[in-house]
């Protein structure tokens, strides 16, 4: 009897430890450590609301972007109307980190230096895009369309694939004085100087030349792309430099 009680207590203790460990790990998402706070990091997603964000060129309520279970996600089944999600605040020099996941064949992106004006119909018409793409998407055949690239403009400096569909990837965007770096799962994938002649030439030679404000700015809003396949984000945090 005594032995059975000891065994039962051991099992309960082990279960409690596993539960505590799981809870602790889960609770770390969408939170800042004391060290991060001291370094100046700020959350752009609190884990439970869309506070601090609005639809591009609109202040109307929306449901296509939802905050649930610690994720900020674009619901592909919501037919109320599409729209890229834009930060209320504009940013210039910063370090931005975020986790993201896509379903199989998914496609999305993060736009930076976005101008919000009625005469500019979409975020991508002004803001260069950090591409997010599942490896199973047909666009993966184009080197300049893979995750971590400046969409349509640069290929990966170092080849790196995303994790399997529905798995979390980690990305980082650093921008200072117009010089930008993209990282995917810890690997530097893109570098560009938006003030350089080389960048201006790339834009002029691309289909983006038809959009006069594209890539011309080194500050603006950050935008998350609405896409038909859906996209989820978490741990979106920024430190202004």
The pLDDT tens digits for 61-93 are: 999 999 999 999 999 999 887 789 999 999 999
Please give the Cα distance from 181 to 225 (Å, whole number).
19
pLDDT score for 166: 97
Mean pLDDT of 24-32: 76
Q: Does the structure show a pLDDT above 60 at 14?
A: no
pLDDT score for 26: 52
Q: Does the structure show a pLDDT above 70 at 170?
A: yes
Pairing of strands 42-43, 53-55: unpaired
| H-run or E-run covering 205 | helix 197-205
Please give the Cα distance from 12 to 4 (Å, whole number).
12
Q: Does the structure show a pLDDT above 60 at 165?
A: yes
| Burial class of residue 189 (count of CB atoms within 10 Å of its CB; 0-12, 13-18, 19+) | buried
- Terminal CA-CA length for the chain: 64
pLDDT score for 5: 46
pLDDT score for 79: 81
Q: Which residues contact 232 (CB under 8 A, 6 or more apart)?
A: 71, 72, 73, 74, 100, 101, 102
Matching CATH number, 32-240, of 3.40.190.10, 3.40.50.150, 2.60.120.560, 3.40.50.720 = 2.60.120.560
Please give the Cα distance from 56 to 115 (Å, whole number).
9
Mean pLDDT of 28-38: 97
Spell out the domain ranges in the chain.
Answer: 1-30, 32-240
């Amino acid at each position: 009897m005594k032995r059975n009680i000891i065994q039962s207590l051991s099992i309960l203790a082990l279960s409690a430890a596993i539960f505590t460990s799981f809870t602790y790990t889960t609770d770390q998402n969408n939170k800042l450590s004391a060290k991060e706070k001291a370094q100046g990091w700020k959350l752009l997603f609190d884990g439970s609301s869309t506070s601090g964000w609005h639809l591009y060129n609109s202040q109307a309520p929306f449901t296509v972007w939802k905050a649930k279970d610690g994720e900020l996600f674009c619901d592909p089944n919501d037919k109320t109307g599409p729209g890229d999600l834009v930060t209320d605040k504009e940013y210039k020099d910063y370090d931005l980190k975020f986790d993201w996941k896509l379903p199989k064949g998914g496609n999305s992106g993060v736009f930076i230096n976005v101008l919000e004006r009625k005469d500019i119909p979409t975020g991508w018409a002004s803001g260069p895009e950090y591409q997010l793409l599942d490896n199973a998407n047909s666009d993966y055949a184009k080197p300049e369309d893979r995750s971590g690239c400046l969409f349509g403009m640069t290929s990966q400096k170092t080849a790196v694939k995303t994790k399997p569909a529905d798995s979390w990837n980690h990305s980082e965007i650093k921008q200072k004085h117009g010089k930008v770096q993209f990282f995917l799962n810890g690997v530097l994938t893109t570098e560009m100087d938006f003030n350089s002649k080389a960048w201006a030439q790339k834009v002029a030679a691309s289909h983006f030349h038809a959009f006069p404000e594209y890539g011309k700015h080194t500050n603006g809003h950050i935008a998350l792309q609405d896409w038909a396949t859906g996209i989820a984000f978490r741990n979106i945090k920024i430190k202004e430099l």
